[in-house]
């Protein structure tokens, strides 16, 4: 029996019926990682000895009649989560020997649910890129095409899932870090509503593990099926007991609809600030057709949709003003001089990002007020719609690009170059107001690369986009394993260590510290 690509739900059922043991599943997963991860480089910090011990303990617990939602299921976690006894570096060279003393709250919840942690997955330097490479652990390749990125910053987790290295993973998202890797690798991910899932212990090395996180940021589940996302979200959801003084428990409202024909969906495939590539437009179209064929009410326009240009501007303002708060005085002054030199008429996103890094509190408060107005706009929209389907990024996975200056990079969209960071506008559409968003596979590009879309739902109604993702999976299919040996490489990858400063936002000099701004 080939176990590596089954869902967590299927593995749990097989263990409950005695068809397989956790020890057998874990040994099988370890063998696959040792065989195949040399080419992918997804699992950067293996923990196989403790994983086997945990698997055997899970089998003993099951023999005693115990059970749990993830009992015995092999999983991975993103490198940025603290795991006691394993290094947490965020890819920053000076923190290569940082060993946290205790697990992040979500690692604890995984273990409490019975999961077997195989190890940690690769990230970009400081979680600052839409790719996954750093000097310590090298470059992670896309399992579908080794010359392309798996995305970032949860790229190692998505690549691991697509390669059969564990049934589930956990990541984080501020600029699409869950959704973009899922889209690039053909798996599922869910960005929860802001504040739904505790993130304590998902912190830069040397930072106290306190029960708060950066504005806009969330942690969430990744899987190979929509149902597995719900299974894992139920394990993860709930407040931090250090903040609320209670055990984690969060009762979310049920999905608004159970049947596809009852859903009301707004479909978008164009953004005023960046083109949408043909492969992504085709994927959105496939989903729209499947929804309509299933009886859902599908519309392409609504006057209630918040202004997309304004939404992208607010997102960049909030993201970069918060990220730059830890810059040194010297760096801040350099940025302020550069921002002052901008043409007053320059309203490009590049100019927005630069101005935002030196925002005053008054300016940040104005942006935050704009966010609240947009949240109200989304509430009005979701009075008439249940979900919004739209792109995650404008293209499928792109070739590795390790130019150390993110601002000099370009993203090629059907032969036309755009500023690299402008591709974040689609991810930011859900991030800025804090809405839940589920990334789902939606077919392949003409080159054979996975293409996904996101389903955005109402605030704290995470089960609604998750349910629609499950219904879509039944109609158009879901995860498919990469076809080994078909797509090898169309560009040189970089399996060895990357340059120490690669992946850093180069607004005006600086260091490789883990507290540099996160873009994903």
For 8-34, write each residue's pLDDT tens digit.
999 999 999 999 999 999 999 999 999
Alpha-carbon distances, residue 152 vs 184, 299, 324 (angstroms)? 10, 31, 20
Confidence of residue 260 (pLDDT cuts 50, 70, 90): very high
pLDDT at res. 323: 85
Strand partners, 388: 266, 456
Question: What tens digit of pLDDT does each residue of 266-314 get?
Answer: 999 999 999 999 999 999 999 999 999 999 999 999 999 999 999 999 9
Q: Other CB atoms closer than 10 Å to residue 33's CB: what's the count? A: 25
d(CA 27, CA 34): 11
**CB-based contacts of 110: which residues, under 8 Å, 6+ apart?**
70, 75, 77, 117, 170, 235
Catalytic, out of 22, 108, 153, 172: 153
d(CA 46, CA 37): 11
- 449-475 exposure pattern, b = at least 16 Cβ within 10 A, e = fewer: bbbbbbbbbbbbbbbbbbbbbbbbbee
Reading the block at residue 51, the tokens are 């994983």
CB 36 within 8 A of CB 102: no
394 pLDDT higher than 70: yes
d(CA 420, CA 505): 12
Confidence of residue 88 (pLDDT cuts 50, 70, 90): very high
pLDDT at res. 8: 98
Q: Tell me the mean pLDDT in the region 482-489.
A: 61
pLDDT at res. 24: 98
The bridge status of strand 450-456 relative to strand 416-419 is unpaired
Q: Is 153 in the active site? A: yes
483 pLDDT higher than 90: no
Domain boundaries, the chain: 8-243
Question: What tens digit of pLDDT does each residue of 395-449 get?
Answer: 999 999 999 999 899 999 999 999 999 999 999 999 999 999 999 999 999 999 9
d(CA 286, CA 280): 10
Catalytic, out of 132, 172, 177, 321: 177
388 pLDDT higher than 60: yes
374: region left, alpha or beta (phi > 0 left; psi from -120 to 50 alpha): alpha
**Domain 8-243 in CATH: superfamily?**
Amidase signature (AS) domain (3.90.1300.10)
Alpha helices in 66-176 (DSSP H): 105-112, 155-162
Confidence of residue 212 (pLDDT cuts 50, 70, 90): confident
Q: Other CB atoms closer than 10 Å to residue 81's CB: what's the count? A: 26
SS3 176: coil
Reading the block at residue 401, the tokens are 């690009």
pLDDT at res. 325: 79
Q: Is 78 in the active site? A: yes
Tell me what percent of the residues of the chain surpass a pLDDT of 90.
88
Q: Is 172 in the active site? A: no
**CB-based contacts of 17: which residues, under 8 Å, 6+ apart?**
none
Q: Tell me the mean pLDDT in the region 324-342.
A: 91
pLDDT at res. 251: 83
pLDDT at res. 248: 58
Question: What tens digit of pLDDT does each residue of 261-270 get?
Answer: 999 999 999 9
Confidence of residue 489 (pLDDT cuts 50, 70, 90): low
Nearest-CA neighbor of 109 among 253, 243, 237, 246? 237
Reading the block at residue 55, the tokens are 């698997």
Return phi, psi of residue 392, to 5°: -100, -45
Query: Of residues 455 and 506, which shows the higher confidence score?
Result: 455
Task: Specify the length of the chain in residues.
Answer: 520
SS3 104: coil
The bridge status of strand 138-139 relative to strand 410-413 is unpaired
Confidence of residue 495 (pLDDT cuts 50, 70, 90): very low
Q: Is the dihedral of CA 136, 427, 445, 233 positive or negative?
A: positive
């Amino acid at each position: 029996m080939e176990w590596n690509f089954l869902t967590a739900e299927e593995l749990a059922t097989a263990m409950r019926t005695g068809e397989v043991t956790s020890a057998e599943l874990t040994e099988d997963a370890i063998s696959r990682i040792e065989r195949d991860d040399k080419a992918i480089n997804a699992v950067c910090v293996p923990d196989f000895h403790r994983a086997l011990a945990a698997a055997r303990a899970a089998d003993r617990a099951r023999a005693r009649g115990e059970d749990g939602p993830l009992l015995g299921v092999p999983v991975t976690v993103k490198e940025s989560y603290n795991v006691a006894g394993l290094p947490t570096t965020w890819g920053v060279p000076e923190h290569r020997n940082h060993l946290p003393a205790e697990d992040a709250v979500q690692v604890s919840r995984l273990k409490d649910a019975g999961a077997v942690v195989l190890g940690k997955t690769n990230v970009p330097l400081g979680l600052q890129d839409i790719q996954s490479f750093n000097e310590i652990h090298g470059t992670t390749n896309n399992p579908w095409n080794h010359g392309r990125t798996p995305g970032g910053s949860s790229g190692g987790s998505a690549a691991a899932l697509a390669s059969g290295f564990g049934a589930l993973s956990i990541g984080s998202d501020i600029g699409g870090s869950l959704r973009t890797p899922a889209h690039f690798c053909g798996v599922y991910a869910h960005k929860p509503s802001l504040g739904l899932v505790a993130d304590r212990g998902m912190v830069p090395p040397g930072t106290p593990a306190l029960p708060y996180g950066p504005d806009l940021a969330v942690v969430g589940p990744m899987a190979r099926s929509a149902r597995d996302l719900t299974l894992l979200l139920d394990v993860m959801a709930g407040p931090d007991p250090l903040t609320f003084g209670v055990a984690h428990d969060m009762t979310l409202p049920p999905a608004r609809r159970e049947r596809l024909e009852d859903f009301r969906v707004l479909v978008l495939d164009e953004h005023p600030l960046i083109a949408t590539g043909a492969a992504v437009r085709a994927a959105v179209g496939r989903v729209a057709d499947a929804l309509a064929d299933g009886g859902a009410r599908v519309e392409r326009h609504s006057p209630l949709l918040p202004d997309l240009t304004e939404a992208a501007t607010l997102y960049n303002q909030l993201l970069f003003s918060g990220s730059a708060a830890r810059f040194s005085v010297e760096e801040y002054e350099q940025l302020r001089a550069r921002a002052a030199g901008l043409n007053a008429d320059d309203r490009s996103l590049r100019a927005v990002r630069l101005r935002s890094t030196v925002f005053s509190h008054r300016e940040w408060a104005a942006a935050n007020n704009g966010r609240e107005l947009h949240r109200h706009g989304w509430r009005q929209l979701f009075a008439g719609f249940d979900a919004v389907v739209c792109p995650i990024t404008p293209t499928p996975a792109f070739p590795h690009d390790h130019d150390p200056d993110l601002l000099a990079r370009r993203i090629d969209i059907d032969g036309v170059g755009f500023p690299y960071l402008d591709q974040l506008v689609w991810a930011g559409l859900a991030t800025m107001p804090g809405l839940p968003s589920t990334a789902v596979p939606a077919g392949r590009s003409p080159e054979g690369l996975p293409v996904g879309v996101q389903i955005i739902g109402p605030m704290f109604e995470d089960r609604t986009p998750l349910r629609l993702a499950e219904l879509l999976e039944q109609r158009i299919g879901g995860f498919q394993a990469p076809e080994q040996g078909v797509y090898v490489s169309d560009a040189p990858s970089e399996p060895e260590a990357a340059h120490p400063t690669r992946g850093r936002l180069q607004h005006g000099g600086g260091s490789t510290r883990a507290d540099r701004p996160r873009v994903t």
